[in-house]
Amino acid sequence: MESGEEVCQTLLPGLDSNGQIPELSSEAVEEILSHRPVALRWYPRLVGWESRLLWILSWASIFVSVFNYMLSFVTLMYTGHLGALELAGASVACVGIQGLAYGIMLGMASAVQTVCGQSYGARRYETMGVICQRAIVLHIGAAILLTFLYWYSGSALKAIGQSVSIAEQGQIFARGLIPQLYAFSISCPMQRFLQAQNIVNPLAYIAVGVFLLHILLTWVAVCALNYGLLGAALTLSLSWWLLVIIQGLYILFSPSCKQTWTGFSAKAFRGLWPYFKLTAASAVMLCLEIWYNQGLVLISGLLSNPTIALDSISICMNYLTWDIEFMLGLAAATSVRVSNELGAGHPMVAKFSVVVVTTTTTLISIIFSSIVLIFKVGLSKLFTSDSQVIDAVSNLTPLLAISVLLNGIQPILSGVAIGSGWQGVVAYVNLVTYYVIGLPIGCVLGFKTSLGVAGIWWGMIVGVLLQTVTLIILTARTNWNTEVAKAADRLKKSANEEALDLVDTI
C-alpha cells in the first residue's frame, strides 16, 4: 500500500512543460486525503485548490445573497427618511411578516439544494428539473396561505403587542409586499436549482442589475412621486418580479441548463406529500434561525419608548442581516461543495471543504467586526438623523460586533447541514438553543434589568453561541463515509422517475 507521501508525489506533480501547475481533480484529492499521513508541505497546494473552487462559487453566491437582501435594505433606507414612525412600521412588517415568509420559503428551498446538489454530483441530471418544479408548486401553495397573514398583518402585529400607530404603518407596507411574496416563492427554488449545478455567475449579474434598477425605481416612487410607504413596498415587489422573469428566461433558454431542465413535467405534481415532509424539515430548521433574530426585534417593540427601541435594534439588525447574507452566500457555496462531493462519493474532500471554509469565514468575520466598531456612528446615520436613535445604535454596536464574529461560523455549519441533509437534527438544536435558552434569557435581561434592548441582544448572543458550539461538535463527530452512503441511497431512490416521491429518506 502506498504511503501518503508517495501518493502526493504521484498526484501532486510539479510544473508541467509549460511551467504551469497541473489542475487537480476531486478524485485525485480524495485519493490523497485518504492516504494518511499527508505531509504539511502538501497542504498549501490542497488548500489552494479547495479555496479556488470555493471562491468561484462563493463570490457569485455572495453577490446574489447580498444584493437580493439589499433590495429590502434600500427600501428601508428610503422609508427611514419618511419619518421614524414609517421606519418603525416598515421594519416591523419586514421582520414580523416578510421575515416569516422569508424563513419558510428559504427553508423549503434548502431541500432543493440538498437533493439537486447530490444529484448533480452523482451526474443524475434528469431528476433536477422535476425537483425544482415540485418545489415551486409547494412554494406557491405556501404563498397562498401566507397572503392572509400579509393582508391582515395589522391585526397580527397588534396581537403581539405592537402599538396601534406602528401596526397600521406595518400593514400598509405588508400589503404592498404581497406580489413580492409570490415572486419570492418562485425565485427561491430556481436559485437553488442553478446553484446546485454551479451556475452562479449569471445569478450574480442578474442580482446586481436588478438592484441598481431598484435604487432608481424606489427614488422615483418615494422621492419624485411621493407615493410614500405603499409606493416603496410595491416597488420592492416589482423588483423581485424582475428577478423571477430574468432567472426563468435563463433556465428556459440557456444551453447550460439543457441537461437539467427538460421542460415542464406533470411528474412535478406526483409525490407532493412525501416531498413536502422533506421541505418541512428544511423549513423548520431555517425558520427557527431566522425567526429568532426577528422575534427579538418584535419583542423590543414592547419596551418603554418602543419607537426608539425598534429603530435602534432594527438598524443594527439590518447590518447583522447584511453580514448574515454575506455568510449565507459562502454557506450556499459550502452546501453545493459538500452535496456535490457526497453525491460523487468523496467523503474526505467534503470534510476538507468544511475545514477550509470555516477557517476562511472566521478570518473574514474578525475584519467585519472591526469595521462595525470603527464606523459605529456613520452606520446609523445612513438610516436616520434622529440623535436619540444614533446614540442608541452606537450603544448596541459592541454587541453587534460580537454577533458578526459568531456569524463567521454558524451559517457555514448550517450550510454543511443542508448539503448533508441534516435539517431535522439541526431543527431540534435550534429549538433548544434559541427558544428554550436564548429567548428567555433575552426577555429577562431586557424587561427585568436596566439593560433594555441590550439585554434582549445578549439573549440572542447566548442562543447563537450555544447553537454554534453544538454544530461544531456534530460536524466534528460526523462519519463522512456514512454520509456518502446515505447520499447514494437517497439518489438511488430518486433515479427512477416513477420513484421520485421517495426522496424523503433524509
- Express each pLDDT in 34-92 by its tens digit: 766 666 666 777 787 788 888 887 788 788 878 888 888 888 888 877 877 887 788 77
The predicted structure's pLDDT at residue 487: 66
| Segments of the chain scoring below 70 in pLDDT | 1-25, 35-42, 268, 271-275, 277-278, 281-282, 290-291, 293-298, 300-307, 310, 379, 383-385, 415, 418-421, 423, 487-506
Q: Give residue limits of the domains in the chain.
A: 4-38, 44-486
The predicted structure's pLDDT at residue 118: 73
The per-type count for the chain, helices as H runs and strands as E runs, is 21, 0
Rounded Cα distance between 472 and 443, Å, is 27
The predicted structure's pLDDT at residue 397: 80
The predicted structure's pLDDT at residue 278: 64
Question: Considering the chain, what is the average pLDDT of its residues?
Answer: 78
Classified as helix, coil or strand, 365 is helix
Q: How many CB atoms lie within 10 A of CB 198?
A: 18
Q: Find out whether 473 and 467 touch, Cβ atoms under 8 Å.
A: no
Question: By C-alpha distance, which of 501, 415, 473 is closest to 57?
Answer: 415
The predicted structure's pLDDT at residue 17: 41
211 φ, ψ to 5°?
A: -60, -45
C-alpha cell at 290: 431566522
Q: How many CB atoms lie within 10 A of CB 394?
A: 15
Classified as helix, coil or strand, 318 is helix
Q: Which residues contact 212 (CB under 8 A, 6 or more apart)?
A: none
Rounded Cα distance between 317 and 304, Å, is 19
Rounded Cα distance between 172 and 131, Å, is 36
C-alpha cell at 373: 466598531
CA dihedral 63, 64, 66, 71 (to 10 degrees): 130
The predicted structure's pLDDT at residue 496: 47
The predicted structure's pLDDT at residue 212: 94
Q: Which residues contact 314 (CB under 8 A, 6 or more apart)?
A: 76, 87, 88, 91, 95, 297
C-alpha cell at 99: 421575515
The predicted structure's pLDDT at residue 499: 38
Rounded Cα distance between 430 and 353, Å, is 24
C-alpha cell at 413: 455549519
